Amino acid sequence: MVTEALEIRMARLEGAYEQINERLAGVERELSAFRAEFKAELKAEIGGVRSEIGGLRSDNADIRKQLQTQFYWTLTLILGAVLFPVLRDLALTR
């Protein structure tokens, strides 16, 4: 009788361990699926961010080029405004 009770308990424990193993396998499958989905979404987001950064860099380069052009025009006008009277006065004094 003691042996039978022990065997019943062992069978129950084995059944419980099998259920635990099945549940853990399910959790592992879900976790693997979640990881794969997360990686795919993360790659897509990173690609989008890189694309936006590339666009900003391009815009920044265009703005720099425009500022540089405007700076040179402004510098030319200022130097012309300063040098023209000086050169005119030099030419008149000779």
Reply yes or no on whether the pLDDT at 2 is more than 80: no
Tokens standing for residue 70: 């405007």
pLDDT in tens, 50-80: 999 999 988 989 999 999 999 999 999 999 9
The mean predicted confidence, pLDDT, of the chain is 92
Confidence of residue 45 (pLDDT cuts 50, 70, 90): very high
Tokens standing for residue 74: 């402004």
SS3 of 29-55: the string is HHHHHHHHHHHHHHHHHHHHHHHHHHH
Task: Please give the model's pTM, rounded to 2 decimal places.
Answer: 0.54
Confidence of residue 81 (pLDDT cuts 50, 70, 90): very high
